[in-house]
């Protein structure tokens, strides 16, 4: 009996073993990750970590030295035109003709995209308070980014790539842009790859996090899983038992089973401490409490704290 097999649908974006060098400098070294269908992946890293290089490689603007980048299963360098037909982009730097108006850009994009929607475009311009007759040069930096977003969304993309989209926006505009992203995901069901500037804001949007540090990926997992394994623990070790030498172990040693990755405070040593752990396990924590007779309080950590901890750890530093 024969069984028909269906070919798996390729993810909207995939990067495998990507390496990009500029002269003797390795900007991106061996990075691999995927953007799953219908997901929001936030690629986070400090300035110079390689985020924009990865985005430009994925969009077919930079040829990889090694590895490959694909959009919908299509090599984004050799098949860029086909791949980009289903991809909307808000670039780090708005590359819009200064003398163009929102209306003239509408006509241009209408001719380029078969999925273009005048209605969606008009709705976004009205929401962003941008006149169709206004020239790009007369728009603020924030408005130019909003215009980019309006153009990207009106093509009804299956993948939306946002490279630091809130850069240059005030708090109100940042919040509004993220709200638009959430609405787009709900209404159009497209996948999103975003390199955020605002880590606090992105926690309400992203469902997957990839952390980049000095061109290398140091974390790649669902946001809830990432936040679930990190905790800040406050220790009161005044009642702790001493070892054979009459001394108490430090907080890091006590929590070794939970993988302490950052000692926030430990003053004076052996008394009060605050430590961030990366392998939180309540059963193991309760055992430490019982065995040592110490008080340990648990606290959740923000994405920003996790990011600071991961990047500090990868550099061999502790704070």
Q: How confident is the model at residue 237 (pLDDT cuts 50, 70, 90)?
A: confident
d(CA 162, CA 2) in angstroms, rounded, equals: 45
| Residue 16: per-residue pLDDT | 97
Q: Is the pLDDT of residue 267 over 50?
A: yes
Which residues on neighbouring strands pair with residue 286, listed in sequence order? none
| Residue 53: per-residue pLDDT | 95
First to last CA, the chain: 63
In percent, the amount of the chain with pLDDT more than 90 equals 59
pTM for this entry: 0.87
Looking at the chain, how many residues does it have?
A: 319
Weakest mean pLDDT among 46-55, 197-206, 253-262, 310-319: 310-319
Task: Give domain limits for the chain.
Answer: 13-221, 231-300
Most confident stretch, 31-35, 152-156, 272-276: 31-35
Averaged pLDDT of the chain: 87
Average pLDDT of the residues in 208-232: 95
Predicted confidence (pLDDT) per residue in 52-82, tens digit: 999 999 999 999 999 999 999 999 999 999 9
What's the token pair of residue 280? 């939180």
Q: Does the structural domain 13-221 have CATH classification 1.20.1600.10?
A: no
Instruction: Number of helices (H) and strands (E) in the chain: give both, helices first.
Output: 11, 14
Element (H, E) at 195: strand 191-195
d(CA 222, CA 228) in angstroms, rounded, equals: 10
d(CA 55, CA 44) in angstroms, rounded, equals: 12
**Residue 35 near residue 14, CB atoms below 8 Å:** yes
Structure letter (DSSP) for residue 265: E
In percent, the amount of the chain with pLDDT more than 70 equals 91
Q: Is the pLDDT of residue 115 over 60?
A: yes
- CATH code of the domain occupying 231-300: 3.30.70
What's the token pair of residue 150? 């309006």
| Residue 204: per-residue pLDDT | 84
């Amino acid at each position: 009996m024969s069984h028909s097999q269906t070919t798996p649908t390729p993810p909207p974006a995939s990067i495998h073993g990507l390496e990009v060098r500029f002269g003797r400098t390795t900007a991106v070294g061996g990075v691999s990750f995927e953007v799953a269908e219908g997901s929001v992946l936030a690629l986070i890293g400090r300035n110079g970590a390689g985020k924009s290089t990865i985005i430009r490689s994925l969009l077919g603007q930079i040829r990889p030295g090694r590895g490959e980048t694909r959009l919908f299963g299509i090599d984004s360098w050799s098949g860029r035109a086909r791949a980009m037909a289903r991809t909307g982009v808000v670039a780090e730097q708005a590359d819009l003709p200064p003398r163009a108006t929102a209306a003239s850009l509408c006509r241009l994009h209408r001719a380029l995209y078969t999925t273009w929607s005048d209605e969606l475009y008009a709705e976004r311009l009205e929401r962003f308070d941008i006149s169709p007759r206004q020239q790009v040069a007369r728009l603020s930096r924030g408005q130019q980014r909003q215009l980019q977003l309006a153009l990207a969304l009106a093509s009804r993309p299956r993948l939306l790539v946002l490279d630091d989209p809130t850069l240059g926006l005030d708090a109100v505009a940042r919040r509004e842009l993220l709200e638009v992203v959430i609405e787009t995901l709900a209404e159009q069901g497209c996948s999103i790859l975003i390199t955020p500037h605002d880590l606090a804001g992105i926690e309400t949007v992203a469902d997957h996090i990839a952390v980049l540090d000095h061109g290398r990926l140091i974390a790649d997992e669902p946001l809830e899983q990432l936040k679930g394994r990190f905790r800040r623990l406050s220790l009161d070790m005044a009642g702790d038992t001493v070892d054979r030498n009459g001394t108490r172990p430090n907080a890091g040693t006590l929590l070794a089973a939970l993988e302490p990755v950052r000692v926030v405070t430990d003053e004076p040593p052996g008394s009060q401490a605050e430590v961030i752990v990366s392998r939180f396990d309540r059963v193991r924590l309760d055992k430490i409490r019982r065995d040592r007779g110490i008080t340990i309080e648990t606290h959740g950590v923000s994405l920003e704290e996790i990011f600071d901890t991961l990047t500090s750890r990868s550099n061999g530093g502790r704070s």
